Amino acid sequence: MTLAYFDCFAGASGDMLLAALLDAGAPLAAVQAELVKLPLDGYELKTQRVKKNGLGALALTVEIRETTPSHRHFRDIKKMLEASNLSPGVKAQSLAVFTRLAEAEGKVHGLPPETVHFHEVGAVDSIVDIVGIAAALESLGITAIYASPLHVGSGFVQCAHGLLPVPAPATMELLQGLPVYARGIEAELLTPTGAAVLATLATFGPLPPMTVHQTGYGAGKRDLSIPNLLRVIIGQTAETSGLVQETMVLFEANIDDLNPEIYGYVLDRLFAAGALDAYLLPLQMKKNRPGTLLCALTKPEQETAVLEVLFRETTTLGVRRLTVEKLMLPRRHITVSTPFGPARVKVATWQNEEVNAAPEYQDCLLLASQSGASLKEVYAAVIAAYHTLKAFPQEPIDD
């Protein structure tokens, strides 16, 4: 499994994230190939090598001509992304990031997300940054994204709404539940775009176990007392006997007094809180009462949020907490072409042999909704395309 770890010792912005990924080996041509699928013009993507406190890095600038609109509503951005021919993975990640931004801006300004009028984050340069980041991640084959605690800076920043404290209100809204800190630097180190990308896509914590393959440095615009850089570390997870191993937390609760109609809602809330799996099993409990075993599997950094759901949304008075090791087959995504459009297939291998292949549900759902075909027809077409590609491989096959 290929991981990307963003080391945010000087905060993060959209251009720093994208520059770091390009510096780590993401092909600029692959990023531009996705960006040209958007109905955007009047901009130019420029990169240059710079030094920050003696460290070499890549700086990225989105130069925009005056004729290009600088402000957009979320509904316009959403419509543009949904109607585009972006790859399914890039489209899904870009929509998720902008939705998160719209929800944060809407809460700050007291507006429904669809009617949010973006200022800084709605400009063309941020659309380019967000879609470009998703395209760069896909080109590198990144399957899991992690990030360090976020250095946010301090002081005040001039925005379209006037002079605002750092972190800006929308940024602070995006930081709910995330680890942050400030160390006396009076500057906006974390922008709304950078916060939205990481809050949406990354798991926060220390550097996970990996074999490092590449590093990249994206430069910020200012010169600071610390290197104004964002570092990305890309590598492979350590494997045991061909299996990917990861430490997880498993919560269990025996429940015999909860309205059965509520369980579906509880499972939805658990997944929204970060549970990787959640399920129910029937039990015969004390006093011969029928009951339910509620289980939730999560990463250690998400356990507080999962516990919140278990205690607030169920009648349990206590849970069992087990530390478990999850062993997973190495997997990758490939993109196949079908009569309904492109879709990703998750392929798992065991001892260098492909043993499982599963269409990505969200990709198939999108194709079914766009074409009017049934979901099972789309699934069948994706599987058929995968087997054809497997029998007659073409380059490139990896997504």
For 362-398, write each residue's pLDDT tens digit.
999 999 999 999 999 999 999 999 999 887 765 544 5
398 within domain boundaries? no
224 within domain boundaries? yes
397 within domain boundaries? no
Would you place residue 345 in the very low, low, confident or very high pLDDT band (cuts 50, 70, 90)? very high
What are φ and ψ of residue 261, in 5° steps? -65, -20
Last residue of a domain, one of 273, 303, 328: 328
Rounded Cα–Cα distance for residues 296 and 322 (Å): 10
Compute the radius of gyration of the chain from its Cα atoms. Answer: 22
396 within domain boundaries? no
399 within domain boundaries? no
99 within domain boundaries? yes
pLDDT at 325: 78
Instruction: Please check whether residues 319 and 338 belong to one and the same domain.
Output: no
Would you place residue 121 in the very low, low, confident or very high pLDDT band (cuts 50, 70, 90)? very low
Rounded Cα–Cα distance for residues 308 and 58 (Å): 41
Rounded Cα–Cα distance for residues 201 and 136 (Å): 13
Instruction: Please check whether residues 322 and 184 belong to one and the same domain.
Output: no
Which helix (H) or strand (E) segment holds residue 217: the answer is: strand 211-219
Last residue of a domain, one of 222, 238, 254: 238
Mean pLDDT of 311-321: 95
Instruction: Please check whether residues 212 and 292 belong to one and the same domain.
Output: no
Mean pLDDT of 140-164: 84
Buried b (16+ CB within 10 A) or exposed e, 289-305: eebbebbbbbbebbbeb
Mean pLDDT of 8-37: 96
114 within domain boundaries? yes
Evaluate if residue 89 carries a pLDDT over 70: yes
The reported pTM is 0.63
Evaluate if residue 328 carries a pLDDT over 70: yes
- Measuring CA to CA, how many Å separate 292 from each of 78, 297, 334? 41, 16, 39
CA angle (80, 82, 88) in 5-degree steps: 130
Instruction: Please check whether residues 234 and 251 belong to one and the same domain.
Output: no
Contacts of 35 (CB under 8 A, 6+ apart): 45, 128, 131, 132, 135
pLDDT at 241: 53
Mean pLDDT of 18-36: 96
Instruction: Please check whether residues 182 and 55 belong to one and the same domain.
Output: yes
pLDDT at 397: 46
Instruction: Please check whether residues 348 and 303 belong to one and the same domain.
Output: no
Evaluate if residue 1 carries a pLDDT over 80: no
Mean pLDDT of 297-318: 94
Instruction: Please check whether residues 56 and 99 belong to one and the same domain.
Output: yes
Instruction: Please check whether residues 206 and 255 belong to one and the same domain.
Output: no
Q: Is residue 3 exposed (0-12), middle (13-18) or buried (19+ Cβ within 10 Å)?
A: buried
Largest CA distance in the chain: 75
pLDDT at 119: 56
Instruction: Please check whether residues 253 and 349 belong to one and the same domain.
Output: no
CA 394 to chain centre: 29
Instruction: Please check whether residues 222 and 276 belong to one and the same domain.
Output: no
Evaluate if residue 322 carries a pLDDT over 50: yes
pLDDT at 120: 46
pLDDT top residue among 305 and 69: 305
Domain count within the chain: 3
Instruction: Please check whether residues 139 and 78 belong to one and the same domain.
Output: yes
Evaluate if residue 40 carries a pLDDT over 70: yes
Would you place residue 239 in the very low, low, confident or very high pLDDT band (cuts 50, 70, 90)? low
Kindly report the CATH number assigned to the domain that includes residue 256: 3.30.70.1380
Strands (E), 299-398: 320-328, 331-338, 341-350, 353-359
Mean pLDDT of 232-256: 82
Last residue of a domain, one of 216, 238, 260: 238
Would you place residue 73 in the very low, low, confident or very high pLDDT band (cuts 50, 70, 90)? confident
Instruction: Please check whether residues 231 and 254 belong to one and the same domain.
Output: no
Evaluate if residue 68 carries a pLDDT over 70: no
Mean pLDDT of 275-291: 93
* Number of other CB atoms surrounding residue 73 within 10 Å: 15
21 within domain boundaries? yes
Per the structure, the complete domain to which residue 352 belongs is given by: 331-391
